[in-house]
A and B are shown apart, each in its own frame.
Chain A
Amino acid sequence: MQPTALIEIEKVSKTYVRNHTLTYAIEDISFAVPPGEVVAIVGPSGSGKSTLLNMIAGLLDPTDGEVRYAGAPVSGVNTKVGYMTQHDTLLPWRTTLANARVPLEIQNVPRKEADERAMKALRDVGLESFAKHYPMQLSGGMRKRVQLARTVVYNPQTLLMDEPFGALDAILRVNLQQDFLRLLATRENPLTVVLVTHDLEEAVTMSDQVIVLSGSPARVSHVERIRDIREAALSVGVVEARRMPEFANYVNLLWHELHLGSDVPAGESPDVHEEAKR
C-alpha cells in the first residue's frame, strides 16, 4: 500500500442481506488510487463496481475491510468527492444555472458568487447559452454536461463517475470524453478520478490505470497501467488516439483478462448490484 495514495481500498468485501438471503457482491478487494490519477474500474455488470464507488463516497459501509480517504477511514458521507452517477439527477424544477449552483448553495456560498462560479462551470462544458433552460428542454448529452458542471463546480478533490456517458450514443459519447479530458487537463490542481465503466475503450482512453473486476463475488483479477493514450487523445483527439496500435493492444489485453478472470462468461453473472441497491 503506497503511503501517498489518496484513496485506499483494503481487503474490502460487501455482502448484502435481503429477504433472508445473502448476496456476496465483492470479496477481498484491495487497490489504491494515487492523487491526480484517473483510475478506471471495469467489469461485467453486477461485478460490484458501483458498490465500490458508493463506499468511497461514504454512502455504503463495507461488510469487511476498510476504505480510507486521505489516510482516514471513510465514515459517513465523504464530501471531498464529487459523485456523478449514471442516473439523471438534475433537479427538474431548476434551470440549468440553478442546478449547477446547488452544491454551492449547500456550502452557503453567497448567491452572486455562486452564480458566477456556476456560470463559469457551464461555460467549461459549453452550455452558457442554456443557463435559463429547464432540464426537460435539454437533450440527453446536454443534461450530462450540466451534471458534469454541477459535479466540478465546488472544486472537489476527487471525482467519482459511474458510467457517466453510458446512456449516450457513440458520437456524443466520444464528444463528451474529449471535453472531459480537456476539462481535466485545464484544472490547476489535478483532479483524482475513479471512473466506473463497462466500456473498455473508454477505460483505456481516459485513464492511467485500469482495474479489472471479475467473478462472482467480484475480485480484482488484473491491474493494467495505461501509458501515452490519454496524452494522445488530448493532443490529436480521441478518435485518432484509438487508431494507435498500443490502444488496440491495451483493449485486447483487458478483454482477455475480463474473460480469464471470471468463473462465468463475462456479462452473464447475475446483476448483483442492481438487485442489492433497490
Chain B
Amino acid sequence: MTADVSRVAAPVAASGNRGQQLLAAEAARIRRKRVVVHSLQVLLLAVVLGSWEICSRTIMDPFMVSSPSKIASQVWEWLGTGYLLEHVAITLRETAVGFVAGAVIGVALGILLANSQLASRVLNPYINAAYSLPKVALGPLFVVWFGLGIEMKYVMSAVFVVFLVFYSTWNGIASVSEDLVESLRVMGASRLQIVRRVMLPSALTWMFNGLRISFPQALIGAVVGEIIAANRGVGYVIENSAAQFNTTGVFAGILVLTIAAVIFDRLLTVVQDRVFKWNPDSLRA
C-alpha cells in the first residue's frame, strides 16, 4: 500500500502541501476502512464461537456439538503428545504428492490435447463424462488396485486434481490470442517455440487458477482416501474420533484441515502475485 501511495505521490510532489494533504487523507481513509472490516471479521468470529460455547453449556447437548473450549483443549493436548503432528504430516504428504502428480499429468494432457484438434474432438465427450463422474466412487476400486497403503491416497488425491488442472490448462491454451501466435509465426517460430513463448505463458494465468482451486481438492482426495481405509492421517483421526463418538475430536480434525487449506491458499496467492507481476491487477496489489 505504501508503494502505491508513493507512486501516485511522485508527480504531485511539486504541487506542495495541498497535494500531500490529499494523499494523506486518502491513505487515512483506506486505513480506516480496513480497520473496520478486520474488526467486524474478528467480532463475527467471536459472536459465533461465543454463542456456540454458551449453547453447548445450556440448550444443546455437548456430546453432539462439543464446544470451542473443548476443541481448543483437544487440539492443545494432541499437539503436546505429538499425535496431531504425526497425522497432519501424513495427510500433507499425501496431498502434496497427489497435487504434484495430478498437476503434472493435468498440464501435460492439457497441452497435448490443445495442440491437436482431432484428438480434442474425438476425446471431448469421454473427458466430459469422466469429469462429471463423482471421484469418491472410485475409492473402493483404488483400494482393490493399490491396497490400503499410502499409494491409494496418492492416487485418490491426484484424481481429484487432474481434471481441474487439465481443464484450466486446456481452456487457457484454447483462449490464447491467435494474433500473438501469428505474430510469432511470421518471425519463423517453430511449433515448439510458439508453445514455449506464447501458449504456455498465456495459459499460465488459467493454469495457476486451476492449481489454486485444485489444492483444496487434493486435500479432499487425501482425506477421503483416509476415511475410506487408513490407520494414519487427519482423515483417520476424524473417522476414529467419530467411531468413538468423540465429536470434539472430529471438530478438532476439521479445524486442523481448514487451517492447512487456508495457509496453502495464502502461499499460492503469494506465488501467483510474484509470477504475474506483469498483470495490472497484481501490480495494484
A, B in one complex:
yes
Tally of A interface residues using CB under 8 Å: 27
CB contacts (< 8 Å) of A58 on chain B: these are 186
- Chain B interface mostly: helix
Asked if residues B186 and A92 are in contact (CB atoms below 8 Å), the reply is: no
Q: Give the chain A neighbours of B128 by CB distance below 8 A.
A: none
Residues of chain B lying within 8 A (CB to CB) of residue A92: 278-279
Q: Is residue B188 contacting chain A, with contact meaning CB distance below 8 A? A: yes
Q: Within residues 72 to 87 of chain A, which ones have a CB less than 8 A from any CB in chain B?
A: 77-79, 81-83, 85, 87
**B180 contacts partner chain A, Cβ-Cβ < 8 Å:** yes
Q: In residues 139-185 of chain B, which contact A (Cβ within 8 Å)?
A: 177, 179-180, 182-185
Chain B nearest Cβ from A267, distance in angstroms: 25
B62 within 8 A of A: no
Q: B179's contact among A78, A87, A106, by CB below 8 Å, is which?
A: A87
Q: Is A148 at the interface (CB under 8 A from chain B)? A: no
| B185 touching A77, Cβ below 8 Å | yes
Contact code string A81-114 (vs B, CB < 8 Å = 1, else 0): 1110101010111110000001101110000000
> Is B188's CB under 8 angstroms from A91's CB?
no
Q: How far is the CB of A56 from chain B (nearest CB, A)?
A: 10
Residues of A within 8 A of B183 (CB): 83, 85, 89
CB < 8 Å: which of B180, B188, B278 contacts A134? B278
How many angstroms from the CA of A201 to the CA of B202 in the assembled complex? 38
Asked if residues A77 and B184 are in contact (CB atoms below 8 Å), the reply is: no
Query: Is the pair A85, B189 in contact by a Cβ cutoff of 8 Å?
Result: no
The answer to whether A83 and B186 touch across the interface, beta carbons within 8 angstroms, is: yes
Q: Are B280's CB and A77's CB within 8 A?
A: no
Residues of A within 8 A of B182 (CB): 59, 85, 89
Asked whether B283 lies within 8 Å of A93 as measured between CB atoms, the reply is no
Which one of B179, B190, B193, B279 contacts A136 once the chains associate, using CB atoms below 8 Å?
B279
B180 touches A89 (CB 8 A): yes
Chain B residues with CB under 8 Å of A91's CB are 180, 197-198, 201
B residues whose Cβ falls under 8 Å from a Cβ of A: 177, 179-180, 182-190, 193, 197-198, 201-202, 204, 276-280, 283
Known contacts A106-B189, A106-B193, then 20 further A-B pairs from the complex at CB < 8 Å, ordered by chain A residue? A58-B186, A59-B182, A59-B185, A59-B186, A79-B188, A81-B186, A85-B179, A85-B182, A89-B182, A89-B183, A93-B278, A93-B279, A94-B278, A102-B187, A102-B197, A106-B190, A107-B188, A134-B277, A136-B280, A154-B187
Q: Could you list 13 examples of A-B contacts with CB < 8 Å?
A: A59-B182, A77-B185, A77-B188, A79-B187, A82-B186, A83-B186, A85-B179, A85-B183, A91-B198, A93-B278, A102-B184, A136-B279, A137-B283
